[in-house]
Amino acid sequence: MTDLPLTLPVRRRRSSASYRLERRLKKGALMVAVGLVLVYTLFPYYWAIVSSTKQGAALYRDTFLPALDFTYYRALFENTVFLGSLVNSAFVATSTTALSLILGISAAYALGRIDFPQRRGVLLAILMISIFPQVVVLSGMFELINWLGLYNRPSALVVTYLLATVPFTTWILTTFIREFPRELEEAAIIDGCSHFRILTKILLPLMGPSLASTGILAFILAWNEFLFALTFILTDENRTVPVAIGLMGGNSRYEYPFAQIMAASVTVTLPLIILVLIFQRRIVAGLTAGAVKG
Amino acid sequence: MASVELKSVSKSYGGNTVIRGVDLAIRDGEFVVFVGPSGCGKSTLLRLIAGLIPVSGGEIAIGGEAVTDVPASKRGIAFVFQSYALYPHMTVARNIGFALETLGLRRDAIRAKVAEVAKLLKVDHLLTRRPRELSGGQRQRVAIGRALVRKPEVFLFDEPLSNLDSDLRMEMRIEIARLHDDIGTTMIYVTHDQAEAMTLADRIVVLNHGVIEQVGTPQELYHTPKSRFVAGFVGSPRMNFAPVTTTGGAPDWSLAGPGGLALAVSVTGNRSAPATIGVRPEALSLVAPEAGRLSGTLERLEDLGHEHFAYVRVAPETVFVVRVPVRPTIARDTRVGLAFRDEDLFLFDEAGLRLDHAASHERAAAASIEERAA
């Protein structure tokens, strides 16, 4: 045997303790990074809570601790217009969610499972609709709302929000139905099920997670929408909360009711947070459903 | 119970033809197994019979009645899927009874039938569980139960055991055979597993590129395959093939092949010249280099305990597998000879069709006599 001309560099293994230290440092760095992200995302909401409990001039001092003065919250719940707008918002968001889920499921089942030649075109059209900016459709929508006689009614908002929510619910649910094992459906066909029975007895019970996640997204969208809500509603008693908050006035025209607005914002965000926490597990399950074969 | 008849059934997707004019008659109560390489269309053919996909041409009859355009649920068939396809959100009892529920039967009638079927399949203690809490074998039983409860005239199985581990597969194979003996329903079974096909089938249908290559009993396919394709497909390990060159003229040919192979054969019936020879691993034996019909170098020995496989390289690109019952005491890289009897030699022509030769005839006749006796 002749010596090989090339010798591999010998890599010395470091001591066990140094690897342990390295691992701990990495873990620490990850924690710091997570902390930064959390602060970045949660601080605005925290600041809203802090501000909403401050009075007058205290607002302009950089205190990071809440003053725990709930005057504005009390005022808020004595304000019938605001309470009315909360009811309006709940009605609009719930109806929008329910309608878009019903429409979305029916469309998704057809698009995901039934073969027809125009399927690709329809899917593309749906995607196109969902990329229109709101401002573009605003004037057309206004005409439509007038024509339907829905101007200044909360139901006008339900109709218009469907434009935004149906495309993405359909799109997400189509993906889910496509990934749904075909054999399960064939089994149901052999068991004598109609399309409708397959949908209600087999697909829907198994679609819980994805329904929850798309439903929540639709609800959030409808709850937070501002532009349509501002345009199609004229009177205070028919407004939804985002507009109600936006149009909140102070005691004089020179006073900006910062704390009241913050209190109202915190109040209307709470239902969303509660909703997301309730469905949190299902949403995560929905987002990853079908990723790995169970 | 019913017969199944296919008349020039074909299926194409776009321009892609998957099934080309299949004719097949399955008798009442028969157990027929479809085999073939993946993509040969065996599952498609099963789905066509089930009515899960529509035919592009041809006719299907079940029990003498045309069902070509009858929906799947009205054909009197039951289907057992490869993935079991149990409804994950329903209990075992509801899974089994779902078809009856859809039919609108009364609840106590459903319960009675489900209990009966569950008892037969030994899943009666699992009725309140959900599919994910069951083992693979139990799931398969429930899937069979779901098929059984509809009292089908024809049972269709689509590779039902391929998701099970080998022990369980053997156990379930025996149970399916017993089920067929008990209820005597016509069964059509798709598999790629040799052992399942050979042990379960009354008749095997070998499919290749959407065409039936051969239909016959397991013994017929093993002893008298129609073509090189069938010969290579039936039997495990597969038949050894080697190309040969011929001199002479029909019907007597002199063959020369790899490993010093030199044979004189007399082809009967067909006039075409042999192009390939085939010998099954179990028909070969290891002998001294000069005593064999052909010779080569022993490359590898596999010891499976009850049997041994020797891999002998007879030509740079040809390796013959030899099945030996006793572990040979031969070192690797030794030259060995391979011997076989005349009647174990298969000849195939250029087109891959098997040619009968003088010796093969006797054996074929003997096989068919044995069969008749059995």
Question: Got the DSSP string for A34-60?
Answer: HHHHHHHHHHHHHHHHHHHT--GGGGG
Flag if A181 and B52 touch (Cβ within 8 Å). no
- For residue B372, the model assigns a pLDDT of 54
What is residue A154's three-state secondary structure? helix
What is residue B93's three-state secondary structure? helix
Q: How confident is the model at residue A113 (pLDDT cuts 50, 70, 90)?
A: confident
- Answer whether residue B336 shows pLDDT above 50: yes
Task: State how far the alpha carbon of A259 is from the alpha carbons of A41, A83, B28, B76, B340, in Å.
Answer: 21, 17, 84, 72, 99
* B85 close to A184: Cβ distance less than 8 angstroms: yes
- For residue B211, the model assigns a pLDDT of 92
* Residue to substitute from A113, A183, A190, interface B, most B β-carbons within 10 A: A190
Q: Please report residues of A whose CB lies closer than 8 A to that of B146.
A: 187, 191
Identity at B4, one-letter amino acid code:
V
Kindly state whether B72 is in contact with chain A, defined as any CB-CB distance less than 8 angstroms. yes
Kindly state whether B79 is in contact with chain A, defined as any CB-CB distance less than 8 angstroms. yes
Nearest by CB: A189 against B73, B87, B103: B73
Mean pLDDT of A116-143: 85
Please confirm whether the linkage preceding B289 is cis (ω < 30° from 0).
no
DSSP H helices in chain B: 42-50, 92-103, 107-120, 136-148, 166-183, 194-200, 218-223, 228-233, 358-373
Q: What is the DSSP letter of A251?
A: S
**What is the DSSP pairing of strand B4-13 with strand B77-80?**
unpaired
- Residue A184 CA to residue A173 CA, distance in Å, equals 17
User: Which distant-in-sequence residues (6+ apart) come within 8 Å of B169 by Cβ?
Assistant: B161, B193, B196
Q: Please report residues of A whose CB lies closer than 8 A to that of B89.
A: 205-206
Among A10-14, A74-78, B221-225, B227-231, the minimum mean pLDDT is found in A10-14
Q: How confident is the model at residue A264 (pLDDT cuts 50, 70, 90)?
A: confident
- Percentage of residues in chain B having pLDDT higher than 70: 95
User: Which distant-in-sequence residues (6+ apart) come within 8 Å of A259 by Cβ?
Assistant: A51, A52, A53, A54, A55, A59, A72
Flag if A190 and B102 touch (Cβ within 8 Å). no
- Residue B177 CA to residue B200 CA, distance in Å, equals 6
Q: What is the DSSP letter of B353?
A: B
- Residue B130 CA to residue A147 CA, distance in Å, equals 53
Flag if A193 and B102 touch (Cβ within 8 Å). yes
- Residue B244 CA to residue B167 CA, distance in Å, equals 41
The overall average pLDDT reported for chain B is 88
Selected residue with higher pLDDT from A62 and A203: A203
Nearest by CB: A189 against B72, B132, B150: B72
- Answer whether residue A38 shows pLDDT above 60: yes
Q: Please report residues of A whose CB lies closer than 8 A to that of B99.
A: 190-192
Nearest by CB: B81 against A187, A202, A206: A187
Kindly state whether B120 is in contact with chain A, defined as any CB-CB distance less than 8 angstroms. no
Flag if B88 and A187 touch (Cβ within 8 Å). no
Q: Please report residues of A whose CB lies closer than 8 A to that of B88.
A: 206
- Residue A31 CA to residue A23 CA, distance in Å, equals 12
Please list the helix, strand and coil fractions of chain B in percent, rounded to the nearest 5, in that order. 35, 35, 30
CB-defined contacts A:B, below 8 A: 52
Mean pLDDT of B154-167: 89
Nearest by CB: B85 against A186, A192, A193: A186
- Answer whether residue A219 shows pLDDT above 70: yes
Instruction: Let me know how many helices (H) and strands (E) chain B has, helices first.
Output: 9, 22
DSSP string, B280-312: -GGG-EEE-GGGSSEEEEEEEEEE-SS-EEEEE
- Residue B227 CA to residue B56 CA, distance in Å, equals 28
Residue B324 class from Cβ within 10 Å (0-12 exposed, 13-18 middle, 19+ buried)? middle
Domains annotated for chain B, with CATH where assigned, are 4-227 (3.40.50.300), 232-373 (2.40.50.140)
Flag if B79 and A197 touch (Cβ within 8 Å). no
- For residue B369, the model assigns a pLDDT of 54
Flag if A187 and B73 touch (Cβ within 8 Å). no
Q: Which residues pair with B5 in a beta bridge?
A: B25, B61
- Answer whether residue A8 shows pLDDT above 50: yes
- For residue A290, the model assigns a pLDDT of 45
* B262 close to B256: Cβ distance less than 8 angstroms: yes
* A285 close to A214: Cβ distance less than 8 angstroms: no
Q: Please report residues of A whose CB lies closer than 8 A to that of B13.
A: none
DSSP string, B194-253: HHHHHHH-SEEEEEETTEEEEEE-HHHHHHS-SBHHHHHHSSSSPPEEEE-EEEEETTEE
Selected residue with higher pLDDT from A250 and B37: B37
- For residue A250, the model assigns a pLDDT of 63
Nearest CA in chain B to A190: B73
Mean pLDDT of A216-231: 89
Q: Please report residues of A whose CB lies closer than 8 A to that of B103.
A: 192
Burial B68-94 (b: 16+ CB within 10 A, else e): eeeebbebbbbbbbbbbbbbebbbbbb
Mean pLDDT of A131-160: 87
Nearest CA in chain A to B146: A191
Q: How confident is the model at residue B364 (pLDDT cuts 50, 70, 90)?
A: low
Binding-face residues of B in 139-168 toward A, CB within 8 A: 146, 150
Cα angle at B299 between B297 and B303, to 5 degrees?
130
Q: Please report residues of A whose CB lies closer than 8 A to that of B85.
A: 181, 183-184, 186-187
Q: How confident is the model at residue A150 (pLDDT cuts 50, 70, 90)?
A: confident
Closest CA to B267 of B281, B257, B259, B277: B277
- Answer whether residue A289 shows pLDDT above 60: no
- Answer whether residue A56 shows pLDDT above 80: no
Kindly state whether B132 is in contact with chain A, defined as any CB-CB distance less than 8 angstroms. yes
- Answer whether residue A294 shows pLDDT above 60: no
Closest CA to A259 of A77, A78, A46, A49: A49
- Answer whether residue B92 shows pLDDT above 90: yes
* B18 close to B45: Cβ distance less than 8 angstroms: no
Q: What is the DSSP letter of A3?
A: P
- Answer whether residue B332 shows pLDDT above 90: no
Nearest CA in chain B to A187: B85
- Residue A274 CA to residue A54 CA, distance in Å, equals 25
- For residue B373, the model assigns a pLDDT of 54
* Residue to substitute from B46, B75, B81, interface A, most A β-carbons within 10 A: B81
Q: Please report residues of A whose CB lies closer than 8 A to that of B73.
A: 189-193
- For residue B263, the model assigns a pLDDT of 86
Nearest by CB: B73 against A181, A192, A294: A192
Q: How confident is the model at residue B80 (pLDDT cuts 50, 70, 90)?
A: very high
User: Which distant-in-sequence residues (6+ apart) come within 8 Å of B119 by Cβ?
Assistant: none
- Residue A48 CA to residue B346 CA, distance in Å, equals 88
Among B95-99, B121-125, B282-286, the minimum mean pLDDT is found in B121-125
- For residue A93, the model assigns a pLDDT of 94
Q: Please report residues of B whose CB lies closer than 8 A to that of A180.
A: none
Mean pLDDT of B260-267: 86
User: The whole model's pTM is what?
Assistant: 0.77
Binding-face residues of B in 330-369 toward A, CB within 8 A: none
Kindly state whether B61 is in contact with chain A, defined as any CB-CB distance less than 8 angstroms. no
Q: Please report residues of A whose CB lies closer than 8 A to that of B80.
A: none
- For residue B368, the model assigns a pLDDT of 54
Model pLDDT for residues B11-49, shown as the tens digit of each residue = 998 888 899 999 999 999 999 999 988 888 899 999 999
Mean pLDDT of A245-270: 78
Kindly state whether B52 is in contact with chain A, defined as any CB-CB distance less than 8 angstroms. yes
- Answer whether residue B362 shows pLDDT above 60: no
Selected residue with higher pLDDT from A161 and A7: A161
Q: Which residues pair with B297 in a beta bridge?
A: B313, B335
- Residue A287 CA to residue A68 CA, distance in Å, equals 38
Among A69-83, A213-227, B48-62, B113-127, the minimum mean pLDDT is found in A69-83
Q: How confident is the model at residue B371 (pLDDT cuts 50, 70, 90)?
A: low
- Answer whether residue A293 shows pLDDT above 80: no
> Tokens 């041994």 identify what position?
B308
- Answer whether residue B367 shows pLDDT above 70: no
Mean pLDDT of B75-92: 90
Selected residue with higher pLDDT from B36 and A289: B36
Nearest by CB: B85 against A184, A192, A205: A184
User: Which distant-in-sequence residues (6+ apart) come within 8 Å of A4 by Cβ?
Assistant: none
- Residue A204 CA to residue A182 CA, distance in Å, equals 15
Kindly state whether B16 is in contact with chain A, defined as any CB-CB distance less than 8 angstroms. no
